[in-house]
Chains A and B, each alone.
Chain A
Amino acid sequence: MARFLLKLLLFSALILGVDRLAGTLLKHGLDRYFGFDRNAAVLLVGHSHTMLGIDAELLQRSLGMPVAKYAVNGANVFDRQAMLRHYFSDYPGKVKLVVYDVDDHTFTGDGLSSNSYRLFYPYIGNADMNGYLQANAGSWSEYFSRRVLLSPRFNAAVLNLSLRGLLGLFDNFKTGSVDIPSLEKDILAGRRPGILIDPEYVNAMEETIQLVRSRGARLVFCYIPSVDLLSRMDPARHTQVVDMFQRYDRNDEGVEFYNYQEIFGSRYELFSDAIHLNREGQQIFTAQLKMDLQHTLSR
């Protein structure tokens, strides 16, 4: 019995050690992937549109200043508020400009995963993120196990980003072209989500503006384009969403709105699917974004 207990203790200690080692290494990779190690002056925040639509390395080189890209699949307005709080508390006073991706579906959680908060478990050590995760965790055991152990904080999606960071593979893009006839069929069959405006999401967005401005940074709402057929499904609502961002732009000098939907939405060759830019689209779009950001930063 004593022999067994001793071995069990030793084994547990070994497991904890290996877990710490693996967790620390993976978090380092994730920090690198997001560019947290760069003391960024420009912070890109968003979901897959930013992830696949903006080449942060190219932007960094062309702007001549450090850029961090904190973007994860499915991050909604609430997730992003938690992401910003996390970033500002861990790297205070460095960011001059926050670029925040928006689209027709910014004010709704429809179409986005309700489990997106799980992607932030690697940052449970940050007090702000910890509060957010505690509030969203599906069960006490889900939260508690990740509080104690480091490895379970990395699911397959986060692991992918972390490994990319460790290996220095910062490129993230899709190839191929959108299948427009299939998309038209989907739209006709009602398989594409409609545009909704949820007041809770609007409130959260207004809190986000205050948060960014209170940290002394400027905020750019950047409409990363999607195929314009989607916006044309409900033109009135699309206009309403665009108007809201234009109003934020008008009401605060530190807030700007770049609407790229009008410029790129009809250039279908730039899309890999209905809502994501392909490699060529990413390069062209990033070049355009760079020019506009230079203009904003020079003011």
Chain B
Amino acid sequence: MTFNSLAFFLFLPAVWLAFYAAADRWRWLVLLLASYAFYAALGVPYLLGVLLGVTAITYGCGLMLARAGEETKRKRIFWGSVGVNLSVLVGMKYLPFLEENLKRLFHLGQKSPLLPVHPVLVGIGVSYFVLQAISYLADIYLETQEPETHVGRFALYMAFFPKLLQGPIERAGDLLPQLKQTYRFDYDNMRSGLLLFAWGLVKKVVIADRLALYVNAVYGDVHAWSGLPLLLATYFYALQIYFDFSGYTDMALGVGRLFNLRLTQNFKSPYLATSVADFWRRWHISFSRWILDYIFKPLQMIWRNWGTKGTAGMAMALLVTFLASGVWHGARWGYVVWGVTHGIYLAVSVYWNPHQKKLHKVLRLEKTGVLRVWQMVVTFHLICFSWIFFRAESLSDALYVMNNLFTGLGNYRGFLFQHGTTELAALLMGLSIIFAVRLLWTSGREMPDYPGWLRWAGYVSLVEWLLLFNIDIQRAFLYFQF
């Protein structure tokens, strides 16, 4: 069951009604059962077992950590529990990779899979709840978080269905206190939650899935294309992955609001970033916060004496952190190169930033609009370049794309009109509307500031737009696979 399925549209109101009707002390149970049902509906029974196992171990170790007084014992418990969680993550993540190699080794062929499910489903959600479990344990170990004693609420913190499959990765300090609050019906939360959900759905099924039609045609067979279509497909992919992932996050946040729960905002206009570091403050925020706090900062501390003022240590910590980020995305060289590319961008910026500031001062460009736009354009292109490795089916495909990006116009007409004029018009119209609405939002006016008739006209148009222009191929969210 995914957010963009009819099953979910029936599931959500049923859960909300049960939640609303339940006594306050049992509401956590309604959400927990709903979350487990949501996960079980994927049709991969062992995943529920993995979730329960990770929950039980993390809950138990959290309590033990808080009770253990001796530092050696605390360390042992902490690293032991993190080790178990990491082995679950690595095991689930690399199972398809292992299967593929075993098949090759024993000549099992494509028709005799060891895994009974589609590779995307093998570890769906595991990456997210394991990182959440590790952050919970680390926060208790660092004594910035008290362990949760209520096993049910802790299980809900781990499994809450809107964020289970694709995040945001919630910190215990952010979500657990909210789960203890008494629920009171809040009209504004209901309205804004439903609106946010619908908006996210538009991003996914009207924009991202439509962009995928064009991107997949090129990246599925890169050698059939050259020049402009490769460039356009790369730009389209940058937009596709943003609208897909931020669409999911909007839906998750919207569903959370229906239960008066505020989940972490995962995106803040990432393609308006003025540097790669700024990009990571705006893109997949819950994940970048996680790698910053639990990988980068400890490494930076360890290597703080490397180089002048620790610059070498910082650069190395950034490289390793983003290598780990690439590896986290899966067992593919493309992800590793993508992670390393970002690591290099950031490591170079450690050395380049002081010179850059001087240069801007000399050129009198500091804080000017021109500089800001220039930085946004450069950053966007650096990000797009890294997406090539992320999206290409193989490294050789990625190299082909890089070598042929600027080899002329190519069959750009064939690329743009491959699905007909209506599809292209629907895409361009959709993108224009999304950008226009974004501009309206940034003007600072809130929804209730507009007259009622205009709001209602907007809501009705949004739903009708969804009904008419959704891509009728049910496509899974891109970040499910990570």
Contacts and interface: CB of A to CB of B under 8 A. Distances in A.
Nearest to A11: B459
A152 interface: yes
B472 A144 contact: no
Contacts of A18: 460, 464
A157 B420 contact: yes
B467 A159 contact: no
B325 interface: no
Interface string B61-97: 0000000000000000000000000000000000000
Interface residues of B, number: 26
Interface stretch (B144-152, B304-312, B395-403, B421-429): B421-429
A14 interface: yes
A141 B7 contact: yes
B421 A160 contact: yes
Given A4-B190, A19-B464, A22-B464, A152 B419 contact: no
B6 interface: yes
A60 to B, nearest CB: 25
A152 B191 CA distance: 24
B187 A156 contact: no
Interface in A1-41: 1, 3-4, 11, 14-15, 18-19, 22
Interface string A147-166: 00101101111011001000
A165 B166 CA distance: 43
Contact of B464 (A1, A144, A151, A155): A151
Contact of A156 (B5, B185, B419, B459): B419
B460 A151 contact: no
Contacts of B421: 160
A118 interface: yes
Nearest to A163: B422
Contacts of A163: 422
B216 interface: no
Contacts of B460: 11, 14-15, 18
B463 A152 contact: no
Nearest to A158: B422
A142 interface: yes
Interface in B449-472: 456, 459-460, 463-464, 467-472
B474 interface: yes
A230 B376 CA distance: 51
B69 to A, nearest CB: 49
Nearest to A155: B472
Interface in B422-456: 422-423, 426, 456
A219 B187 CA distance: 63
Contact residues of B: prevailing secondary structure: helix
Given A11-B459, A141-B6, A145-B6, A157 B422 contact: yes
B73 to A, nearest CB: 51
Interface in B198-212: none
A214 interface: no
Nearest to B419: A156
A115, A139, A151: which has the most chain B beta carbons within 10 Å?
A151
Nearest to A5: B190
Given A141-B7, A160-B422, A1 B467 contact: no
A22 B467 CA distance: 10
Contacts of A11: 456, 459-460
A145 B187 CA distance: 28
Nearest to B213: A156
Contacts of B474: 138-139, 142
B6 A144 contact: yes
B422 A152 contact: no
B213 to A, nearest CB: 9
Nearest to B190: A4
A160 B422 CA distance: 6
Contacts of B473: 115
A156 B463 contact: no
Contacts of B467: 19, 149, 151-152
B157 to A, nearest CB: 27
Contacts of A151: 464, 467-468
A155 B471 CA distance: 7
A168 to B, nearest CB: 17
Contacts of B6: 141, 144-145
B190 A152 contact: no
Contact of A118 (B5, B7, B420, B472): B472
B207 to A, nearest CB: 13
B456 A156 contact: no
Contact of B426 (A4, A14, A139, A156): A156
A156 B464 contact: no
Contacts of B187: 3-4
A4 B194 CA distance: 12
Nearest to B224: A191
A264 to B, nearest CB: 25
A2 to B, nearest CB: 10
B223 to A, nearest CB: 12
Contacts of B464: 15, 18-19, 22, 151
Contacts of B190: 4
20 contacts: A1-B185, A3-B187, A4-B187, A4-B191, A11-B459, A11-B460, A14-B456, A15-B464, A18-B460, A18-B464, A19-B464, A141-B6, A141-B7, A142-B474, A151-B464, A155-B471, A156-B420, A157-B420, A157-B422, A159-B468
Given A139-B474, A156-B419, A163-B422, 14 more contacts: A1-B185, A11-B456, A11-B460, A14-B456, A15-B464, A22-B468, A138-B474, A144-B6, A151-B467, A151-B468, A152-B470, A155-B472, A160-B421, A160-B422
Interface of B: 5-7, 185, 187, 190-191, 419-423, 426, 456, 459-460, 463-464, 467-474
